[in-house]
Amino acid sequence: MNILILHGPNLNLLGEREPAIYGSQTLEDINNELQSRAEGYNISLRIEQSNHEGVLIDRIQENRKWADALIINPGAFTHYSYAIRDAIAAFNKPTIEVHLSDLSKREEFRKHSVLSGLENVRRIMGKGAAGYFEALDSLAIKE
């Protein structure tokens, strides 16, 4: 199984960025843990972080044949990028939207995700870094 993992804008600053909300683990810590779990499951990962909407869309498109599933934290693009929504709809394979924080308990503008309603997408939020690990585990178990 091949899984594409994408981290959106500002997630490169995890660990130093608002740790009370996003936790103290760095993105590197999270990626290392994902990688070691994936090896245990015999899953290949491609992991990338980008601050740019178009780069995230390019990666979804480029990996659409390679990847069997997508795990994505689109950062603030979650709330307004119809272009990322369209890319994930076109990808049309199991996708897990991960958010470190619980969007339902934050500012109004964060309560809506443009990925809502896509049949291939489910959401894990409010579990910190553990949400990414749960996402990987659930895809591995379904295989």
Q: Vertex 137, ends 130 and 48: CA angle to 5°?
A: 70
Gyration radius (Cα) of the chain, Å: 14
CB of 60 to ligand DQA, least distance (A): 17
52, 99, 112, 132: the catalytic one is: 99
Q: How far apart are CA 72 and CA 95, in angstroms?
A: 7
Is 52 one of the annotated active-site residues of the chain? no
7, 22, 41, 52: the catalytic one is: 22
**Residues within the interface to ligand DQA (CB under 6 A):** 10, 73, 75-76, 78, 99-101, 110
Tell me the residue ranges of DSSP E strands in the chain.
2-7, 44-49, 69-73, 95-99, 121-125
Q: Considering the complex, state which of residue 95 and residue 101 has its C-beta at the smaller distance from ligand DQA.
A: 101
Distance from chain centroid for Cα 119 = 16
Is 99 one of the annotated active-site residues of the chain? yes
CB of 99 to ligand DQA, least distance (A): 4
CB of 143 to ligand DQA, least distance (A): 25
The catalytic residues are 22, 99
